[in-house]
A and B are shown apart, each in its own frame.
Chain A
Amino acid sequence: MRSPSAVYITGIGAGTPLGWNFADVARNLLEGKSGVRKVDTFDVSHHPSQIAAMMDAVPCPATLDETQFRKFSRLEQLSLWCVEQALRDAGLWDKRSSPRIGLVLGTASEWGWHWEDEFWDKGRHPDAVADKPAIIETVQRELGMTGPRLTMSSACASGNFALAQARRWLQLGWVDVCLAGGCDASVTPLTLAGFGNLRALSRQNATPTTASRPFDKARDGFVLGEGGTVFVLEREESAAKRSAMLYGELAGCGLTSDAFHPVIPSPEPAQSIAAIRTALADARIDPADVDYVNAHGTSTPVGDVGEARALRAVFGGLANCIPVSSTKSMTGHLLTAAAAVEALACLASIRFGALPPTINLDEPDAECDLRHVAKQAIEQPVRIAISNSFGFGGSNSCAVFRAA
């Protein structure tokens, strides 16, 4: 263990189309499995994109009544599942009511999904729909948590921003334990149509499992995904005192904004470069120390090229050596939960000494010239992994994970 303010990850709760816990999601990522399929929960015949990595029914957490649980929205169910599992995984379930346990949850527009649910299920216009309690409030109430909380979004970078907030809360001594991550259940008629009409989504509807192809010459947009991951973070002394199992250290974070456009990333990736450099400096490591890069890599023509340029700028010639992959090729793009699931992928690489691949990378785009982990996992010890996540509104983020 390193500095006095080092923060470690001591528990993980996960729910994705690739599994309902860390071990299953990690195994499926390393085996290169795709979670993408045709959307079958509503009529997509008139949607430009008809595919997504969709969750099945969320398992009911052990402490909740199944009938009551099914009355919650899918996003509420997912958040409850991930938070309870993370607390149990960390061995902190019995301490959950402590006011010194914080919760930071990345999410997007929970009110909008509530309105959409009410509209499709009951025909109610949002004007006639009362606001619901915030999901984070529901999670705390149902699980008996009492500490400080924060619902936040930096679009598709939300998971990293949530981790950065939790790390600061711990370092400033505001809490003893902080849960942080992101959950998203965006595969709804309105969201699929909205992103589809933005021309952001892949239209390779006939071949769902090969549609998400980051850095590949034939990529044509991202594939929506669903799921979430929540982590338990603790300071070194707290984790050591109770001999907690360590997944890794959250060693550094870098956060910037393009200030360029609501949707389009800046053609000049100065701010994404700054985010990566800030994260490395925060972790007090050199670029040469990085063993693996989990790329944002959404599979959009513009975004992947911009990220490759940013990585080249930060790593220079080392970019020929440092392995890079995008797990969105398997999970789809989980939007506000993407960075959280990709943090899990980094911790999996550290735990299992293997790099998850970019599946479907048949012919790398010459403008995305990096050392790709293409198609299959590579066995290789990982001491330091970094995860890039960028988002609408110009949010840029990078998180550094170090082996414990």
Chain B
Amino acid sequence: MFDPATDAAESGSGSHFDCTLAAVQSLAVGPAELIGLRGRVSAQFAGQLSVGVIKQLEEQSVLALLTLKQAIEQSGLTVEELDRCGLIACARTPGRKRIGDSLVKFRDSGAWSMSPHVIPYLSLHSLPGLLSQGLRLHGPNIGVGGLPGSESEAVWAAMALLHGDQLPGVFVVLTGWNEDVCQCVTLCLQRVASADIPKMRFRPGHGGDARPLTLESLRAAIESDGSGNWELGGASLAMRLHEARLEAAA
């Protein structure tokens, strides 16, 4: 069970919490490409998700499923470890068109016309629940935010599961539309096994003046030199994908 003293020692200091990034996956597509990706989901998840479930998938879920599957493969976690991993999923306003269509249909045709699929597939819990089902993850899953600007909250939640609940890993899935591009970043966080290899440092109480964490800025950092510093609403986050240490970070 949780022991604050041990946990602080593992991170090297009581004031920051380090983790390794065991997997990083990023994907961004336009509406036309989404059709093809839906086909890939059908092919890759046929054993875990029924045709009916796949048919109902919201667009952001399509990218989330594919990047999470790749992240799991990249993470090197064993089946037993994966079974206990946590999952944080942060989508942005899923279902704008479908909920709009449902409202119009309801107004024109009455209560009976309301699809029973809207609540299960377009709520804040829907994406993490779906991802757990699709990838057979039995650890805690949490939907975070729901509105643009919630990415930092996802990191707080993930770090609490990782360092507090001592899970073998936590997957963080961030998705959202930006103009006509649907984008997704999926990370696999693991507690630091060696002091020499931290790749992400979370420092509560050290907000600083860095830019806020957003899906866009995280994607940009991953696609450039793999490093970044962010402010998380009362904490700082530093990422270094290609360097061993974070001593000077954040």
Using a CB–CB cutoff of 8 Å, the interface residues on chain A facing chain B are 4-5, 44, 46-48, 99-100, 107-112, 115-116, 119, 125-127, 131-134, 146-155, 158, 161, 164-165, 167-169, 171-175, 189-199, 255-263, 271, 274, 281-282, 284, 391-395
Smallest distance from the beta carbon of A28 to chain B beta carbons, Å? Answer: 28
Q: Which of B124, B140, B233 contacts A255 (CB 8 A)?
A: B140
A194 to B126, CA, bound (A): 15
A284 to B125, CA, bound (A): 30
- List residues of chain A with CB within 8 A of the CB of B129: 155, 257, 262, 392-395
Contact A108/B123 with A150-B156, A393-B129, A395-B141 known, Cβ cut-off 8 Å: yes
Among residues 82 to 104 in chain B, which have CB atoms less than 8 Å away from a CB atom of chain A?
87, 93, 95-97, 99-100, 102-104
Q: By the criterion CB–CB under 8 Å, are A110 and B132 in contact?
A: no
A47 to B7, CA, bound (A): 53
Among residues 18 to 72 in chain B, which have CB atoms less than 8 Å away from a CB atom of chain A?
53
- List residues of chain A with CB within 8 A of the CB of B148: 131
Pick the 9 closest A-B CB pairs, nearest first. A393-B129, A168-B164, A255-B140, A153-B124, A193-B114, A155-B125, A126-B100, A193-B111, A174-B204
Q: By the criterion CB–CB under 8 Å, are B2 and A393 in contact?
A: no
Q: By the criterion CB–CB under 8 Å, are A282 and B1 in contact?
A: yes
Q: By the criterion CB–CB under 8 Å, are B141 and A196 in contact?
A: no
Smallest distance from the beta carbon of A226 to chain B beta carbons, Å? Answer: 16
Q: Which of A4, A109, A174 contacts B124 (CB 8 A)?
A: A109
Q: By the criterion CB–CB under 8 Å, are A155 and B138 in contact?
A: no
Q: By the criterion CB–CB under 8 Å, are B118 and A194 in contact?
A: yes
Q: By the criterion CB–CB under 8 Å, are A393 and B111 in contact?
A: no
Smallest distance from the beta carbon of A404 to chain B beta carbons, Å? Answer: 20
- List residues of chain A with CB within 8 A of the CB of B17: 172
Q: By the criterion CB–CB under 8 Å, are A126 and B103 in contact?
A: yes
Q: By the criterion CB–CB under 8 Å, are B119 and A154 in contact?
A: no
- List residues of chain B with CB within 8 A of the CB of A271: 138
A391 to B123, CA, bound (A): 12
Smallest distance from the beta carbon of B97 to chain A beta carbons, Å? Answer: 7
Q: Which of A109, A259, A274 contacts B132 (CB 8 A)?
A: A259
Q: By the criterion CB–CB under 8 Å, are A126 and B96 in contact?
A: yes
Chain B contributes a number of interface residues (CB within 8 A of A) equal to: 70
B201 interface residue per 8 A CB criterion: no
Q: By the criterion CB–CB under 8 Å, are B147 and A131 in contact?
A: yes
CB within 8 Å: A-B pair count: 235
Q: By the criterion CB–CB under 8 Å, are A111 and B93 in contact?
A: yes
- List residues of chain A with CB within 8 A of the CB of B125: 108, 153-155, 158, 391-393, 395
- List residues of chain B with CB within 8 A of the CB of A195: 119
A132 to B149, CA, bound (A): 12
Smallest distance from the beta carbon of B158 to chain A beta carbons, Å? Answer: 11
List 27 A-B pairs, Cβ < 8 Å.
A48-B111, A109-B124, A111-B93, A111-B146, A126-B103, A151-B145, A151-B146, A152-B142, A161-B142, A165-B157, A171-B4, A171-B164, A172-B160, A172-B204, A173-B14, A174-B204, A174-B235, A193-B111, A197-B112, A257-B87, A261-B53, A261-B133, A262-B121, A262-B129, A281-B1, A282-B1, A394-B129
- List residues of chain B with CB within 8 A of the CB of A198: 116, 119-120
Q: By the criterion CB–CB under 8 Å, are A172 and B100 in contact?
A: no
Q: Which of A127, A189, A395 contacts B106 (CB 8 A)?
A: A189
Smallest distance from the beta carbon of A182 to chain B beta carbons, Å? Answer: 12
Contact A127/B121 with A173-B4, A189-B111, A262-B133 known, Cβ cut-off 8 Å: no
B169 interface residue per 8 A CB criterion: no
Q: By the criterion CB–CB under 8 Å, are A161 and B14 in contact?
A: no
Closest to B124 in A: A153
B192 interface residue per 8 A CB criterion: no
Smallest distance from the beta carbon of B221 to chain A beta carbons, Å? Answer: 22
A100 to B207, CA, bound (A): 12
B163 interface residue per 8 A CB criterion: yes
Closest to A44 in B: B111
- List residues of chain B with CB within 8 A of the CB of A127: 96-97, 100
Q: By the criterion CB–CB under 8 Å, are B7 and A46 in contact?
A: no
Q: By the criterion CB–CB under 8 Å, are B235 and A194 in contact?
A: no
- List residues of chain B with CB within 8 A of the CB of A161: 140, 142
Q: Which of B87, B111, B119 contacts A46 (CB 8 A)?
A: B111
Closest to A118 in B: B103
Smallest distance from the beta carbon of B165 to chain A beta carbons, Å? Answer: 7
- List residues of chain A with CB within 8 A of the CB of B160: 165, 168-169, 172, 174
Closest to A140 in B: B233
- List residues of chain A with CB within 8 A of the CB of B123: 108-109, 112, 153, 155, 392
Smallest distance from the beta carbon of A285 to chain B beta carbons, Å? Answer: 12
B122 interface residue per 8 A CB criterion: yes
- List residues of chain A with CB within 8 A of the CB of B107: 119
- List residues of chain B with CB within 8 A of the CB of A47: 111
A146 to B161, CA, bound (A): 23
Q: Contacts A125-B100, A174-B204 given; 19 further ones with Cβ under 8 A? A: A99-B205, A111-B146, A112-B99, A115-B100, A134-B146, A134-B150, A151-B124, A152-B142, A155-B125, A161-B142, A168-B160, A172-B7, A174-B160, A196-B114, A197-B112, A198-B119, A259-B132, A260-B133, A393-B141
Smallest distance from the beta carbon of A315 to chain B beta carbons, Å? Answer: 21
A271 to B141, CA, bound (A): 13
Smallest distance from the beta carbon of B214 to chain A beta carbons, Å? Answer: 14
Q: Which of B53, B87, B116 contacts A194 (CB 8 A)?
A: B116
